[in-house]
Amino acid sequence: MKKGDEIVGWLRTPPAERPGLYARADALRRERRGDSVPLRGIVEFSNVCAGDCAYCGLRRSNRDLRRYTMPADEILDVARRMAGWGQMTVVLQSGEAPSRDGDRALGELIARIKRETPLAVTVSVGNRPRATYAYWRDCGMDRYLLRFETSDADLYRRMHDGGELGDRLACLRDLRALGVQTGSGFMIGLPGETPERLAENIRLCAELDLDMIGIGPFIPNPDTPMGSARNAWADDPEMFFVALAALRLACPDAHIPATTAYDAVFPNAGRDRALRCGANVFMPNSTPGRYRRDYQLYPNKPCVDEEAGDCAACVQWRLKALGREIETGPGHAARRGAPAGDP
């Protein structure tokens, strides 16, 4: 595992030397993950959330949000089309709203997707008991995404309505113990963040031995308690890419997506740059258009007026422009016994 001071050194790379850092991270990405890009299509199937996080537009206190939950047949209809778009993973994402009936229904949906499509299934719906994760795994769930957002336990508690970072980390360890490919990550530039704190976030990712790590700029929703908070790196937004490069150097084998938030800060270019600074995964939005405006975690979220097919075509064009190919297999973690790209 990389030491914290080594990671801090990367994060403190002088501006004139940052292109060299990006090139080093990109070369390591190519060596460990190859040049093909797995596409993981996100279906934001519900914006119902029991949490009241201080930065998120889905928080339960947001009374102006039209709440929705997509019917299972509509989700499955999207999943059936995804392989034709080159997307070999469906990411089922929602707010955190645990319930016995809802968790059982999600398991039934996972099983249907696995029976009726060739897709890998990633789920991202928040903290759950180990038994629920085991049930979803037995239904066919391949991966789970659960971001810890910050390694600072006090800040986590303030941001997450009194929730405990330890509970989040326990969920991640349960998932790893169950043999589920496990993803997590954090926001870059939370108020008061220093290179040392950012390095701790990266070090925690390495310690957790994650299969996928998603990071992106902190962008609070204006209708939340943190809505007026300023990103710690607002005056040096290149730090968003420096952090990504440092993450690749610290976690060389992980799948690292070029997350949507990069395009929110750098319109139509952020995710492309991320793919040149160490990222290797693209996650198109495959949510039907009529739901997208009601799933705005943060302002200026890209592609809210588009349909899934439009996003699919755009992603293919962007990757072609970068000289990168679309991964034809499910893009499982290398540790699971199959090299990246094997079906």
CATH code for the domain in which residue 136 is found? 3.20.20.70
Torsion of CA 283, 286, 292, 295, to 10 degrees: -50
Whether residue 338 lies inside any domain: the answer is: no
Predicted confidence at residue 114, as pLDDT, reads 98
Could you tell me if 326 and 37 are in contact, meaning their C-beta atoms sit under 8 angstroms apart? yes
Could you give the dihedral angle defined by the CA atoms of residues 266, 270, 273 and 278, in that order, rounded to the nearest 10 degrees?
130
* Element spanning 90, H or E: strand 87-94
Contact 189, 218 (CB under 8 A): yes
Q: Considering the domain boundaries, does residue 69 fall inside one?
A: yes
How far apart, in whole angstroms, are the C-alpha atoms of residue 38 and residue 248? Answer: 17
User: What integer pLDDT is reported at residue 2 of this predicted model?
Assistant: 58
Question: Is residue 334 included in any domain, yes or no?
Answer: no
Which DSSP category does 231 fall into? P
Residue 36 within any structural domain of the chain: yes
Does residue 333 sit within a domain?
no
Q: Which parts of the chain register pLDDT below 50?
A: 336-343
Domain assignment of residue 252, given as a range: 4-322
Domain membership of residue 330 (yes or no) is no
Report if residue 331 sits inside a domain: no
Q: What is the pLDDT of residue 133?
A: 98
- The number of folded domains in the chain is 1
Asked whether residue 342 is assigned to any structural domain, the reply reads no
